[in-house]
Amino acid sequence: MPSRKKIEVIVAVVVLVLLAILLYLATRQPAAEPQVSDLPQAQSTSLPPVDPKTVPAPGVVSAGTVARTFIERFGSYSSETDFANVDDVMKLATPTYQSELDTLVNGYRRQFDAEAGYTGVSTQVISMKTVTETDAATTFLVTTQREEAVGTPGNTTLRYQDAEVNLIKSGDSWLVNDLTWK
């Protein structure tokens, strides 16, 4: 077999192997990622019994979870989304606080209509400390990390800000009744 034919055969085999590898990678299913849940895990029979007062009933979300969700969603916004973040958290607020949020958003909409340029903030809860707690009301002091972009999404500054959030119990649900940025 002449050397030119050998080279052509070798190139053809390499191309076929590469195509087979690409086909395999394209058709294989990605590994399933583990699901993360805020709900308590089922109790193992080898563990000591859990005090029912410390574990929320199925379907009931803790005050801390509501506070965290509210602050992260409410505190994350973009001038390009017309304050959709506030619409997202309305169901987590009391009717009285919903009215305050409506007034607040209408004022912000007028302000951002008058200003040109992009503004966006991404908020993450770093820590939460219970300030007061009763069966009907809870107050948390929450430390957040906020990344703010002004002008363009790439022009960011990072800052830490505390917030105090007050929740009240309505039936089996916790609702935000007030939020004050410090």
pLDDT digits (tens, 9 = 90+) for 102-153: 888 888 777 765 555 778 899 999 999 999 999 999 999 999 999 998 887 7
CATH of range 63-181; options 3.40.50.300, 3.10.450.230, 3.40.720.10, 3.90.1150.10: 3.10.450.230
In this predicted structure, what is the pLDDT of residue 124?
Answer: 95
pTM of the model: 0.64
In this predicted structure, what is the pLDDT of residue 114?
Answer: 53
In this predicted structure, what is the pLDDT of residue 79?
Answer: 77
Q: For the chain, what are the domain ranges?
A: 63-181
Q: Which residue has the higher pLDDT, 101 or 22?
A: 101
pLDDT digits (tens, 9 = 90+) for 11-64: 787 777 776 776 777 777 555 444 444 444 444 333 344 444 444 444 468 999
Distance, C-alpha 134 to centroid of its chain: 27
- C-alpha distances in angstroms, 127 versus 64, 67, 71, 148? 11, 11, 12, 19
- Distance in angstroms (rounded) separating the CA atoms of residues 121 and 158: 10
Q: Is the dihedral of CA 36, 42, 48, 49 positive or negative?
A: positive
pLDDT of residue 4 exceeding 60: yes
